[in-house]
Amino acid sequence: MNSRERVKRAINFDHPDRAPVSHAVLPAAQLKYGAALAEILTAYREDFGWDYMADLPLEKFPPLYTQGRNRDDFGTLWQVEVAGVCGIPVEWPIPDLADYAAYRWPADFTAGPPSGRQYSGHMCGYDDRWYARGAWITYFEQLQQLRGMENLLVDVATEPVEFYRLADDMLAFNLRWIDQWTQLEYDGLHFADDWGAQRSLLISPKTWRRIFKPRYAEMFARVHAAGMDVWYHTDGRVNDILGDLIEIGADVINCQVAVIGHEWLAQNARGKVAFRTDIDRQHVMPFGSPAQVKEEVHKVFEACGTNAGGIIACGEIGPDVPLENVQAMYEAFAGTYGFAA
């Protein structure tokens, strides 16, 4: 079967011939390892029709990855200490909600992706041999970058009227983006918001369900209405809302398996949604041996997949990951064709 069919079968638990492979390389790793990393990735081609390791000049990095202080199209100022390592916002365009009426949103997608956003997937002419995944749509994180994290959490706690106006306008902006993405020939669109800390959700699950869940549901429904899959990335211990994300239509979830817990995922989510896997990037990938990396790959596959599918084989490659561990991860991907029952 070709790559597009393989991915679709994996998402739909329809017995792919093997787990599809998806690359996830941070720009700093690309800068550090260059051709040596490209050689590994070329040997293990992914199933999405594009090669992440094409040379990207530093001047084309988005503001959040470009060394120094850089302002994105939303008006957020980023401080980036090391090129290729995501910086932190240090100045926000709406620090005071009383001034929100004066804020001007950036141009829509037709003018090109706003520079504050990453986006994944591209097509050099549509080719239906590959599963095409596009966009990088954030909601909670973009609100943080507009208000500042502390200000936004106070908004969530106190719920002023102006906060709901901003939240609704952010939703409307994203829906316009989605409508423009869905005019293109993609099979799925990618959403991303980190909702978990190391031990718990950043806000109470009850508050998340009341404020954020309906807004995600509306965005996901717009994607599904266009016949596309919803891919959702979220870091941290998000156990409390994983079922909600599945309920409102996430088709593929990329989460930190080791933080959530292998056994918890196996008992509560396996078979209910497909996973774009995460291979422990806090401990095993940077500090483990190649043998431990391979063992972790098998543990993750067993926790997330079934004998019918549900796995997109992926592990983030950062600049702290030794090349021998990158090689070991892909060898384990290539050697694991079946799934745990």
CATH of the domain at 225: 3.20.20.210
Q: Is 46 part of a structural domain of the chain?
A: yes
Q: Quote the pLDDT of residue 49.
A: 80
Q: Decide if 80 is inside a domain.
A: no
pLDDT for position 121: 45
Does residue 73 belong to any structural domain of this protein? Answer: no
Residue 341, in any domain of the structure: no
Number of structural domains, the chain?
1
Residue numbers of the domain that contains 164: 3-60+95-335
pLDDT tens, position by position, 295-329 = 999 999 999 999 999 999 999 999 999 999 999 99
pLDDT at 210: 98
Average pLDDT, the chain: 91
pLDDT band at 51, cuts 50/70/90? low
pLDDT of residue 107: 79
Query: Band of the pLDDT at 265, cuts 50, 70, 90?
Result: very high
Note the pLDDT of residue 81: 94
Q: Is the pLDDT at 44 greater than 70, yes or no?
A: yes
Decide if pLDDT at 53 tops 70: no
Classify residue 84: in a domain, yes or no: no
| pTM of the predicted structure, to 2 decimals | 0.93
DSSP collapsed to 3 states, the chain: CCHHHHHHHHHCCCCCCCCCECCCECHHHHHHHCHHHHHHHHHCCCCCCCCCCCCCCHHHCCHHHCCEEEECCCCCEEEECCCCCCCEEEECCCCCHHHHHHCCCCCCHHHCCCCCCCCCCCCCCCCCCCCCEEEEECCHHHHHHHHCHHHHHHHHHHCCHHHHHHHHHHHHHHHHHHHHHCCCCCCEEEEECCCECCCCECCCHHHHHHHHHHHHHHHHHHHHHCCCEEEEEECCCCHHHHHHHHHCCCCEEEECHHHHCHHHHHHHCECCEEEECCCCCCCHHHHCCHHHHHHHHHHHHHHHCECCECEEECCCECCCCCHHHHHHHHHHHHHCCCCCC
Would 78 be classed as within a structural domain? no
At residue 117, does pLDDT exceed 60?
A: no
